[in-house]
Amino acid sequence: MEKNNYPRHIEHVFEFDIAPGQGVERLDVYLTRVIPNASRNKVQEAIAEGAVIVNGVKVKNSRKILPGDHIVCTILKPPPLELVPEDIPLNITFEDDRIIVINKSAGMVVHPGFGNRYGTIVNALLYHIGMRESIVVDNDENDSGDEEEIVEHYNVDAYRPGIVHRIDKDTSGILVIAKDTEALAFLAKQFRDRTSDREYYALVWGNVKNDEGEIVSHIVRSPRDRKIFIATDNTKLGKFAHTTYSVIERYEFCTLIKLKLKTGRTHQIRVHCSSIGHPLMSDAAYGGAQIAYSGIKSGVVKSRAEEVMKIIPRQALHAKSLGFIHPTSLQKMIFDSELPDDFQKAIDFCRHHSTI
């Protein structure tokens, strides 16, 4: 079997005739509702690219459907996703008959998606629980595998086991996985209701002034780059996001902080830290891959800052601990993790050279 992470897309053509009596509805909303497994983003992209024709004419997203309209929508979608069990080592912190808690290493994607079909946590977990045959499931191209949000769409019966939440590919740390449908629903509800406890450690650029604080905004996709997100005060856009933080240690050009997620949006910590002028060190997507602190006045300190980015060349973020109620015992469980080597070495280097 050739391990092709970028399979050729398949063209899907959908045709609809709007019946008399159909209520007024935006075209993009209607197509999202009637096309199986379609996301609104995907439909809007198709309309913007001229792949949606109404009565022989290209139209806009805001166009209202009318009785008698003939709609032709062409969408390119990846083929069904083949989940292949792979013998990949996992750092398992805890396991019983309902859940698995792992300490994910940086560089590993949580679940398969377009561009990440192999080498993921799910591939490793399938093998770990004894599966050897591949599973074919519908694929959703909009799932990049690089998100922190709760995975509400996962079908645990198809995927085995159920991924409750995700952390970014280059973020390390604690994850919980459900082994059955009931456990998945039980755990996912805690994440949605914000009753789970998630604590992260991050190295951010600059001297964070306040010992503690909170960041509240809405988070929306960047209009300039659909792969990243931005914080906005416009409550009509994106999704509400809330992060609290406290300073652990300050160094000469960066600060070690502890963050707690009150919501779980895509790239939330990375976006929020960048929005207050303290991007994560080495975070290329959000301005941290170059020196982002104006207080560096000498070449010697600049060299030390560059050395830290060599020590930890990925975003300096670690999911330190996770707390939740167990689906069987109903007891609160809290799992903590040691910082990975690159993160700890970066801290040690900063401590050794810090003048604060």
What are the beta bridge partners of residue 215? 243
Question: What span, in angstroms and rounded, lies between the C-alpha atoms of 41 and 259?
Answer: 30
Q: Do 10-77 and 199-353 fold alike per CATH?
A: no
Q: Which of 28, 143, 168, 170 is catalytic?
A: 168
Q: Respond yes or no: is residue 168 known to be catalytic.
A: yes
Provide the pLDDT for residue 2. 45
Q: Does residue 355 surpass a pLDDT of 80?
A: no
The beta strands (E) that lie in the chain are given as 10-17, 52-54, 57-58, 70-77, 81-83, 92-95, 99-104, 135-137, 162-163, 172-178, 197-205, 212-221, 229-232, 239-250, 254-261, 317-325, 332-336
**CATH hierarchy code of domain 199-353:** 3.30.2350.10
Topology (CATH) of 10-77: 3.10.290
Q: What pLDDT sits at residue 146?
A: 39
Closest by alpha carbon to 161, among 204, 132, 121, 133? 121
pLDDT in tens, 198-245: 999 999 999 999 999 999 999 998 888 878 999 999 998 889 999 999
**% pLDDT > 90, the chain:** 65
Right CATH for 81-193 from 3.90.1410.10, 3.40.50.10860, 2.60.40.10, 3.30.2350.10: 3.30.2350.10
Between 147 and 278, the more confident residue is: 278
pLDDT recorded at residue 112: 77
The span from the first CA to the last CA of the chain, in angstroms, equals 56
**pLDDT the model gives residue 4:** 56
Domain ranges, ordered by start, for the chain: 10-77, 81-193, 199-353
Q: What is the pTM of this model?
A: 0.78
Contact, 341 vs 195, CB < 8 A? no
Q: What is the pLDDT of residues 106-140, one digit of tens each?
A: 999 987 766 677 889 989 998 998 888 888 776 55
Whether the predicted pLDDT of 161 surpasses 50: yes
Contacts of 194 (CB under 8 A, 6+ apart): 262, 263
State mean pLDDT over 15-28.
90
